[in-house]
């Protein structure tokens, strides 16, 4: 009878847990980003606690103010400016103020004959077809951005609720994070060493993902957008954000934007701006990743690049922007679980031997 009661109770625990996850699912993004913010800013919070003589409430409140000043307020301002720029660019394309066909014709006239022969083989010199495809791609992408902007404006109340929940949870994660982590850890049906290894890997991957990817993306986006602005290239904020987003995905990078633009400027005879853009792109924007990432991440995480690529793209495709964090975390948990399993098997084999 005891075994039956135990099984019933375990079933009840599973059902209650799944029901709680279902109830909390509308706020999954707020919970996730609150947890991410708390993990990333926990060293700041602990330093403030030491400086304030152990006052956890005050330290958590001050850390929350720092998060608002450094992350939330700038993100809202940039987001509103980006919406305006995306809408104006979409309207310019829709009204044919930006002549894509003329741009492609200029590139075709400046291209070497050997390159044109190669492009002919792949039917890439059909200017009208390329114009239609590129125009459709750009207008559809910008239309989606404009529609999302309208949705965000219309659902401002929902956005404010989500942001409020995120900040509220961040405060308690900062104040009580260690106690919460210990409670969760001790309730998991795992050995102490395995629990510690998985929790360490979880926090390490989140910190490494944010420090090594988001910070680098912000710096590259700022440098790219500022370069476009100083060179008087249309929609610098929009392209800066696009470059920042592209830098988040391994093996893609910001060159997808500044290389074609630099080549176009050279092809149209704007040599000074074209050479300047390509020089800054190669020696400043691209070098940021090589310089900053090792400093920010160090040896925090060392997953193969192809695993990071698949996990990031897969996470984004399944979960949207939240998948940028969840994808690498799942990949890290997968690798850590199999490493622990392999270590256990080796230890068991050595004992038997």
Average pLDDT over residues 249-258: 76
The predicted-structure confidence for 147-185, as pLDDT tens digits, reads as follows 555 555 555 667 788 888 999 999 999 998 888 878 877
What is the reported pLDDT for 137? 53
Residue 109 pLDDT exceeds 80 = no
Residue 289 pLDDT exceeds 60 = yes
Domain boundaries, the chain: 28-187, 192-353
What is the reported pLDDT for 19? 92
What is the dihedral angle through the alpha carbons of 311, 333, 207, 186, rounded to the nearest 10 degrees?
150
What is the reported pLDDT for 131? 46
Average pLDDT over residues 2-22: 83
Which range of 16-25, 121-130, 313-322 scores highest in mean pLDDT? It is 16-25
Query: How far, in Å, CA of 283 to CA of 296, rounded?
Result: 20
Residue 32 pLDDT exceeds 80 = yes
339 band by pLDDT with thresholds 50, 70 and 90? confident
Query: How far, in Å, CA of 333 to CA of 192, rounded?
Result: 16
Query: How far, in Å, CA of 311 to CA of 304, rounded?
Result: 11
pTM here? 0.68
Average pLDDT over residues 210-214: 76
């Amino acid at each position: 009878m005891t075994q039956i009661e135990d099984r019933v109770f375990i079933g009840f625990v599973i059902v209650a847990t799944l029901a709680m996850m279902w109830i909390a699912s509308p706020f999954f993004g707020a919970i996730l980003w609150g947890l991410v913010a708390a993990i990333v800013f926990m060293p700041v919070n602990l330093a403030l606690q030491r400086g304030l003589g152990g006052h956890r409430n005050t330290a958590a409140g001050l850390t929350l103010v720092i998060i608002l000043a450094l992350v939330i307020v700038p993100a809202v301002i940039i987001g509103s400016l980006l919406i305006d720029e995306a809408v104006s660019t979409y309207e310019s394309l829709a009204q044919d103020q930006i002549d894509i066909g003329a741009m492609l014709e200029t590139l075709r006239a400046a291209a070497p004959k050997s390159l044109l022969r190669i492009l002919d083989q792949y039917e890439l010199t059909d200017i009208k077809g390329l114009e239609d495809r590129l125009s459709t791609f750009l207008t559809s992408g910008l239309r989606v951005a404009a529609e999302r902007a309208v949705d965000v404006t219309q659902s401002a109340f929902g956005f404010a609720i989500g942001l409020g929940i995120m900040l509220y949870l961040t405060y308690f994660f900062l104040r009580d994070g260690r106690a919460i982590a210990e409670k969760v850890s001790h309730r998991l049906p795992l050995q102490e060493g395995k629990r510690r290894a998985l929790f360490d890997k979880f926090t390490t991957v989140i910190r490494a993902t944010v420090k090594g990817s988001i910070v680098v993306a912000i710096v590259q986006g700022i440098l790219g957008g500022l370069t476009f602005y100083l060179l008087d290239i249309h929609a610098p904020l929009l392209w800066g954000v696009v470059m920042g987003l592209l830098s988040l995905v391994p093996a893609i990078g910001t060159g997808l934007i500044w290389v074609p633009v630099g080549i176009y400027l050279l092809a149209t005879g704007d040599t000074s701006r074209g050479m300047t853009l390509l020089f800054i792109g190669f020696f400043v924007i691209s070098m940021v990743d090589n310089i900053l990432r090792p400093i920010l991440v160090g040896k925090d995480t060392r997953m193969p690049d192809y695993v990071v690529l698949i996990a990031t793209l897969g996470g984004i495709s399944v979960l949207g922007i939240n998948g940028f964090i969840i994808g690498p975390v799942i990949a890290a948990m997968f690798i850590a679980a199999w490493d622990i399993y392999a270590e256990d098997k080796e230890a068991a084999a050595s004992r038997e031997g």
